[in-house]
Amino acid sequence: MNRALGKLVAGILLGLAIAVVSGCGGGLKTGSVTGTVTYKGTPLGNGSVVFRPKGQGRESGGTIQPDGTYRIPDAPVGEVGIGVETRPPPALPPMPKGVPGADRMAPPAKGKYVPIPAKYKDPASSGLTYTVTGGEQKHDITLD
């Protein structure tokens, strides 16, 4: 019985190894996309960008940096819809009176908040598309 169990385990491990090496049918193909996001010529200072495949597949996204740039290292290859969202900075709680140095404390710089129309949040309604290829590429996103 132990010998049969050993052969079964060895067969399963061999099957898993073959699946990993072969990529289970080709695997998920991705590209690395970088660029700048602007609204009416102004770089967005915060928020996020999401790429949603037009067919099946998982969406992927990245953070908009204070200078308006973004990076999506694992963007799905093929045609994608693009969603962009910005968020106002969180409100800071008032500092209690009498706390030494409270008047010198400043929130960390996060980039300027630029409000954009709500339609850009959803890749299905944004009207923004791009075709991702394998490897590194640049795609600037311009919002009107």
Give me the phi and psi of 126, to 5 degrees please: -70, -30
Q: How many residues does the chain have?
A: 144
**Of 117, 143, 141, nearest in space to 130 by CA:** 141
Looking at residue 62, its pLDDT comes to: 97
60 burial via Cβ count (<10 Å: 0-12, 13-18, 19+): buried
Domain boundaries, the chain: 28-89+109-143
Specify the range with the lowest mean pLDDT, choosing from 38-52, 59-73, 107-121.
Answer: 107-121
CATH placement of domain 28-89+109-143: 2.60.40.1120
Looking at residue 57, its pLDDT comes to: 83
Q: Is pLDDT of 46 > 80?
A: yes
Q: Is pLDDT of 113 > 70?
A: yes
Task: Please tell me the number of Cα atoms within 13 Å of 98 on its side-chain side.
Answer: 0
Euclidean distance between CA atoms 37 and 48, whole angstroms: 10
Looking at residue 111, its pLDDT comes to: 78
